[in-house]
Amino acid sequence: MPDGASPILEVQGLQTVFRTRGGDIHAVNSVDFHLQPGELLGVVGESGSGKSVTMMSLIGLLPSPPAEVRAGTVRFGGDDLLRMPARQLRDIRGARIGFVFQDPMTSLNPVFPVGFQIMEPLRKHMGLDRAAARRRAQELLELVGIPDAARRLGDFPHQFSGGMRQRVMIAMALACDPEVLIADEPTTALDVTIQAQILVLMKDLRERLGMAVIWITHDLGVIAGIADRVMVMYGGQVVEQAPVKALFARPQHPYTRALLQTVPHVTGARADRLKVIEGQPPVLSGPPRACPFRARCPHAFETCARANPARVAVGPDHDAACFWDVDRGAPRHV
Amino acid sequence: MFTYTIRRLLIAIPTLLVISLIIFLVVTLAPSDPTANLPLSIPSEVRAQMREALGLNEPILVRYLLWLRQFFLYEPLHMLDQAFGLSLAGEDMQRILSWQTRSPVADLIVQRLPQTLWVVGTSYVVGVLIALPIGIVSAYRQYSWFDQIGTFVSMVGFSVPTFFTGVLLIVIFSVHLGWFPSIYDTTLRVTDLSTFWLQIKQMIMPVAVLALYNAAQISRFMRASMLDNLNQDYVRTARAKGMTERVVVLLHVLRNSMIPVVTVIALGVPTVFGGAIITEQVFKVNGIGQLLIIAIQGGDVPTVQTLTFIFAVLIVLFNLIADVLYGLLDPRIRYD
Ligand SMILES: Nc1ncnc2c1ncn2[C@@H]1O[C@H](COP(=O)(O)OP(=O)(O)O)[C@@H](O)[C@H]1O
Ligand SMILES: [Mg+2]
């Protein structure tokens, strides 16, 4: 990774609240992170930890109401995406920032041919005419490994399998050569063999196209093979952030350690049963005043109930939000 | 799709035969006497002769078969003769005659169809045209004041019967303000601008009453269908591609939402031909609906049978059209 280069995306103090009838839900709480050009940042966390909401807040994709981005800045190419007129933001979405969603079965419009759907951003953002957009759409389908691309442009989504639809989604997200690709659990809805194919495809595309990628998943196994750096989220906060090797070698947050223990090992002695993290994720009805993980944490002590730990450096480019120092087995001095 | 349509058309034949038999039996077996309205001075032997002349003494099945032959063979031939000045129909090919007027039922229908098509047809078109945008905006701005007012108005339009809204309009605009006539004048011929204006004026109230009623239903349907689709994942995808709200709503969402709505609109078309029976009565529009009411009151069996059966044909036909449209609009549906 080109160290020291200025980040392409820099998020600070992001806070998103859903105003529902049952009260406010603080889904994202003071999230800070950055993304270097060409880097692949993995984002992990149980479902409900705020991964999707964070990423959708960045580019204004959350329905409002009920969502409300209350605070924060999102620096992208010198502008703040959160304070940008809707029109200008639309010119960035799908052009400079591409999005791939979780469920390829429902994320494509069922009544339009896939060719049309891929051509839409090409025509809007790149101003291509119909013929040029069509040629480019065909190239894109070939790029993502869909055989017989020219003919398949006219096919409707239901004529593709799940894996092929996700390839179409990827082609669509990559249509305008984005600088950043955000992939929100792009393989979760797919069969294991198809997941592997999509992973290989993404690795290959990243090498060829060189865009930065944010890869959301709840599967640490996937992250290990693909990410440069990992960000762990819990209760709408970033609880640990580290280069991928450091995270797997020296996880510092008890939540990360618990997550790592849930990853089944293919090699080695087979565990009697899969480990799970005991307890429930926190209810996010107010801004966090204490550590959100304390109820499930084996190391929790009285400080954890009094304050919400800030992220502190625990190694080179490695930080964790925890009062407990796992290396020393004692509270951390801050 | 083509073979599917052909197959559905073939299936429609036995369906319609069964319907025709049921209609025939229900209307024929109803305890009404076509001579009952005649003066009491007519002796009963004469009445009996009249009944015999009307063919009422034949067995029911024979009468049904004769009626079928008249309906499907004689009438079409006569209609062709009239339309193109041919002489396909023989002298002995008796037409279906109205017992009340002794004129062919088909002629009565042809006389009355234009009024119904003008008034009820226009109201349907107007209803659809106002319902669609209202439904779209109500869904897109769910719970806004526009949506709340729309919900209220369509609830009113839905639940207040047309004979009430009709009379209300007459009281306000004909009686008090004197803007529009309360009676529809069929003899009016549109020849120039001023007669055209008169035609518009006499159409406004019945059209408004029926359009309100149609729009209330269809706009609710449109709204529900839009709401279903606005929450779909593909809408988020379209936004993530940077499409404008206009494209997202009026292309991606609307195209999907129209699938069930078009079906409902198609299924509603037969009611246009059925005429809005009550509204035609209120505004004295002598259309198909009024013809049916008069025929029922006069025990005019051939007219009632013919009209009812034509409605049945239209309903079967537009069901088929709705299904075909569904298949055309939704690429996921394949009929084969
Ligand atoms: N439309 C919504 N309305 C209310 N709450 C929501 C909505 N979408 C997400 N949330 C809440 O935000 C939190 C984070 O969700 P999300 O970001 O989707 O989690 P994940 O990490 O699985 O992607 C969840 O607790 C969820 O309850
Ligand atoms: Mg998610």
Tens-digit pLDDT profile for residues B242-256:
999 999 999 999 999
Average pLDDT over residues B122-132: 94
Inside any domain, residue B276: yes
**Band of residue B132 on the pLDDT scale cut at 50, 70, 90:** very high
CATH of the domain at A73: 3.40.50.300
Q: For residue B231, how far is its CA from the centre of ligand 1 (angstroms)?
A: 15
Across the interface, whether the CB atoms of B241 and A103 are under 8 A apart is answered no
| pLDDT, position A206 | 87
Question: For residues A49 and A216, what is the distance between their CA atoms, to the nearest angstrom?
Answer: 11
Average pLDDT, chain B: 87
Task: Show the domain range for B144.
Answer: 111-329
**For residue A304, what are its two tokens?**
């954890």
| pLDDT, position A160 | 94
pLDDT tens digits for range B62-105: 888 888 888 888 888 888 888 888 777 777 778 888 888 888 88
Q: Which residues of A touch B240 (CB under 8 A)?
A: 59, 61, 93-94, 98-99, 101, 173
Poorest-pLDDT segment among A28-37, B97-106, B127-136, B193-202: B97-106
Give the residue, by CA position, lying nearest to ligand 1 atom 9: A53
Residue listed under structure tokens 């009209």: B307
Residue listed under structure tokens 């600088």: A179
> Both A114 and A241 in a single domain?
no
Is A106 touching ligand 1 by the criterion CB < 6 Å? no
| pLDDT, position A267 | 55
> Both A47 and A160 in a single domain?
no
pTM of the model: 0.86
Question: For residues B77 and B23, what is the distance between their CA atoms, to the nearest angstrom?
Answer: 23
Inside any domain, residue A144: yes
Residue type, B57: N
Pure H helices in B2-41: 2-29
Domain stops at, among A175, A208, A223: A175
> Both A218 and A148 in a single domain?
no
pLDDT tens digits for range B316-325: 999 999 988 9
**For residue A51, what are its two tokens?**
């991964």
Poorest-pLDDT segment among A1-10, A227-236, B22-31, B44-53: A1-10
**For residue A314, what are its two tokens?**
């625990």
What angle (nearest 5°) sits at the alpha carbon of residue A136, between those of residues A135 and A137? 90
| pLDDT, position A2 | 47
Residue listed under structure tokens 């640990």: A240
Residue/partner pairs of B190-196 with CB below 8 Å, 24 or more apart:
none
Is the backbone of residue A214 left (phi > 0), alpha (psi -120 to 50) or beta?
A: beta
Domain stops at, among A175, A209, A230: A175
> Both A144 and A112 in a single domain?
yes
| pLDDT, position B101 | 83
Inside any domain, residue B289: yes
Number of domains observed in the structure of chain A? 2
For ligand 2, a single-atom ion, which residues have Cβ within 5 Å? A 52
Tell me the angle at which helices B193-230 and B162-169 cross, rounded to the nearest 10 degrees. Answer: 140
> Both A129 and A254 in a single domain?
no
Question: For residues A296 and A279, what is the distance between their CA atoms, to the nearest angstrom?
Answer: 6
CATH of the domain at B252: 1.10.3720.10
Inside any domain, residue A324: no
Domain stops at, among A249, A281, A313: A281
Number of domains observed in the structure of chain B? 1
Is A49 touching ligand 1 by the criterion CB < 6 Å? yes
Which residues of chain A carry a pLDDT beneath 70?
1-4, 264-275, 334
Inside any domain, residue A63: yes
Q: Which of A51, A53, A232 gets mutated to test ligand 1 (max ligand atoms within 8 A of its CB)?
A: A53
Question: For residues A184 and A215, what is the distance between their CA atoms, to the nearest angstrom?
Answer: 6
Residue B219 clears pLDDT 90, i.e. is over it: yes
CB A227 within 8 A of CB A40: yes
Inside any domain, residue A226: yes
* CA A184 to ligand 1: nearest atom: 23
Q: Which of A198-207, A293-302, B51-60, B257-266 has the highest mean pLDDT?
A: B257-266
Q: Which residues of B touch A110 (CB under 8 A)?
A: 234, 256, 330-332
> Both A182 and A79 in a single domain?
yes
Task: Show the domain range for A223.
Answer: 9-96+178-266+274-281
Residue type, B251: L
Q: Does the ipTM exceed 0.95?
A: no
CB A42 within 8 A of CB A224: no
Across the interface, whether the CB atoms of A110 and B259 are under 8 A apart is answered no
Give the residue, by CA position, lying nearest to ligand 1 atom 10: A27
> At B85, phi and psi to the nearest 5?
65, 35
Residues 222-251 on B with a CB inside 8 Å of A are 232-234, 236-244, 247
Inside any domain, residue A23: yes
Q: What percent of chain B has pLDDT over 90?
A: 31
More confident site: B115 or A215? A215
Residue B334 clears pLDDT 80, i.e. is over it: no
Inside any domain, residue B21: no
**Ligand with the closest atom to the CA of A44:** 1
Across the interface, whether the CB atoms of A59 and B256 are under 8 A apart is answered no
Which secondary structure element, helix H or strand E, spans residue B245, and what is its range?
A: helix B245-247
> Both A91 and A125 in a single domain?
no
> Both A155 and A204 in a single domain?
no
**For residue B113, what are its two tokens?**
């169809």
DSSP character for A10? E
Q: Which of A112-116, B43-47, B271-275 has the highest mean pLDDT?
A: A112-116
DSSP character for A327? T
Across the interface, whether the CB atoms of A95 and B242 are under 8 A apart is answered yes
Question: For residues B333 and A304, what is the distance between their CA atoms, to the nearest angstrom?
Answer: 57
Omega prior to A264 cis, within 30 of 0: no
Average pLDDT over residues B267-288: 83
